[in-house]
Chains A and B, each alone.
Chain A
Amino acid sequence: MSASGDRRAAVLALFLAAMLSAIPISAGEIPLALRRSGYDFMSRETRAMQDDDSVNPAMLWVKDGEALWNARAGSADRACSDCHGDARQSMKGVAARYPAYDPAKRRPVNLAQRINICRSERQHAPALAYESANLLALAAYLGLQSRGLPIAVAIDERTRPFLEAGREIFNRRQGQLNLSCAQCHDEHWDKKLAGNPITQADPGGYPLYRLEWQGLGSLERRLRNCLSGTRTQAYAYGSPEFVDLELFLMWRWRGMKVETPAVRP
């Protein structure tokens, strides 16, 4: 990003610092009825990209994901479809329930991790790297099977501690700017930051095509961008902190619709 990136980053830090000084004392989660998808904050042109699969570049990855679903992999020489059949039926609503509790791991796993568990245990294939084209493609293809369905992560006695851990991270002030996620996305979602809408940190469209990335990326990649923007040491991909935060974000977005593969600026 070089000089212009540094300059932009400096300007961003300035605005974040200005915002920090204007933080109201009142806090609190967004009432369910006031939640708005990031889609609502976008321009007509960007919404049009998400609305029509024939112009949504994310469909390049989805098309690959469909091929991967049906392709044999690993020493088991088995395709996803050999166990799960037609994803359009068997995977309907599945992505809307992730992160989900994995008894073997004794903690929630996100969809990308679930795909890799299947790969190692069922297909005897090497795990796909986080943010790799193939992992994003499979996750996008699975996400598409839940598009339009309400998000419904299962919160019970097993997952509640992880939900609370995620909530704590969301509300924790951290990084050089000493900001929490909540300070922007619960308290200032109706305002702008450096000309861009702040939005409500909606997790329902991932993996999504971000114009900034000029490609598809996961929720964790987006969270890492946010963390670097607030000068916070980012968590590693697949870390418990990220999955807990993802679980909290999905719970916070309960009942809202899956938009995968969404488009965002």
Chain B
Amino acid sequence: MKERRRPANSRRRFLLAAGGVAAVLAFEPADATVAEMSDAMRKVVGGAPVAKGRVTLELPPLVDNGNTVALTVRVDSPMTARDHVKTIHVFTEKNPQPNVATFRLGPRAGRASVATRIRLADTQTVVALCEMSDGTFCSGSADVVVTLAACLEEL
């Protein structure tokens, strides 16, 4: 699993554009860390190796609102009785919790593709970890930039 590079001034990053009118804001997360995501993934794989590839994680590179981010995960698998995807786990590195969802499928799925909508608290990397029917693991990831809505509602 790759470690994310962080800028030194990551307390608060402003990417200003268009004379200060347009901006992309990213704030530090409340409490999650990359290490927590690694721990959560280790719980799934134990000591087994994780191969990069076969897993395609589709997320918009720049999202309208972090409350609802379209996610599709596809795994390159024939989905036969002998060779299929058993589980797909989705993790985030900077949400309050690393776990997003676990999907269980099998040969009756016909196609290893699942879509959902997720919350992203910050600009970050999302990882999909897949367990195959032969017990091997593979993973894919996607980087997402999260901007904030302009006029917020008080709770």
The short answer to whether A and B are in direct contact, CB under 8 Å, is: yes
Residue ranges of A at the interface with B (Cβ–Cβ < 8 Å): 1, 4-5, 7-9, 11-12, 15, 18-19, 22, 42-46, 48-49, 188, 191-196, 198, 211-214, 221, 224-226, 228-229, 265
CB pair B148–A8 under 8 Å, yes or no, is: yes
Smallest distance from the beta carbon of B60 to chain A beta carbons, Å? Answer: 5
B21 touches A211 (CB 8 A): no
Q: Can you list 8 A-B pairs with a CB-CB distance of less than 8 A? A: A43-B64, A45-B64, A192-B17, A194-B150, A195-B22, A196-B150, A211-B65, A228-B151
Given contacts A15-B20, A194-B150, A195-B24, 5 further A-B contacts (CB under 8 A): A5-B152, A15-B23, A192-B21, A196-B148, A211-B65
Whether A18 and B20, one on each chain, are in contact in the complex, defined by CB atoms closer than 8 angstroms, is yes
A200 to B77, CA, bound (A): 46
Cα-based distance from A195 to B20 in the complex (angstroms): 10
Instruction: Count how many chain B residues have C-beta atoms less than 8 Å from C-beta atoms of the other chain.
Output: 29
- Once the chains are docked, how many angstroms separate the CA of A15 from the CA of B154? 19
B151 and A195 form a contact (CB under 8 A):
no
A interface: dominant SS: helix
**7 A-B pairs with least C-beta separation:** A229-B151, A265-B64, A192-B22, A195-B147, A211-B65, A45-B70, A211-B68
B60 touches which of A15, A43, A213, A228 (Cβ 8 Å) = A43
CA distance A12 to B149 in the complex (A): 10
Of A8, A9, A212, most buried by chain B (CB within 10 Å of CB) is: A212
B-chain residues with CB within 8 Å of residue A44 when the two chains form the complex? 60
Q: Decide if A212 touches B65 in the complex (CB within 8 Å).
A: yes
Q: What is the minimal beta-carbon distance from B12 to any residue of chain A, in angstroms?
A: 9
Kindly state the separation between the CA atoms of A228 and B147 in the bound complex, as whole angstroms: 20
Q: Which among A9, A46, A188, A192 is the interface contact of B152 at CB below 8 angstroms?
A: A9
Specify which chain A residues have a CB less than 8 angstroms from the CB of B24 in the assembled complex: 195
Structural contact, B151 and A225, CB atoms closer than 8 A:
yes
Residues of A contacting B148 in the complex (Cβ-Cβ under 8 angstroms): 8, 194-196
Q: How far is the CB of B113 from chain A (nearest CB, A)?
A: 15
Is B32 an interface residue, CB under 8 A from the partner? no
A16 to chain B, nearest CB (A): 9
B54 to chain A, nearest CB (A): 24
Find chain B residues with CB under 8 A from A211 CB. Answer: 64-65, 67-68, 149
Given A211-B65, A265-B65, are A193 and B60 neighbors across the interface (CB < 8 Å)? no
Closest CB in chain B relative to A193 CB, distance in Å: 5
Bound CA span A43–B20, Å = 22
Contact of B149 among A45, A46, A196, A228 (CB under 8 A): A196
- What CA separation (Å) do A265 and B147 show in the bound complex? 11
CB of B46 within 8 Å of the partner chain: no
Interface pair A22/B21, CB less than 8 Å apart: yes
Chain B residues whose CB sits within 8 angstroms of the CB of A42 once the complex forms? 64
* Interface flag for B155 (CB, 8 Å): yes
Interface contact A11-B25, CB-CB below 8 Å: yes
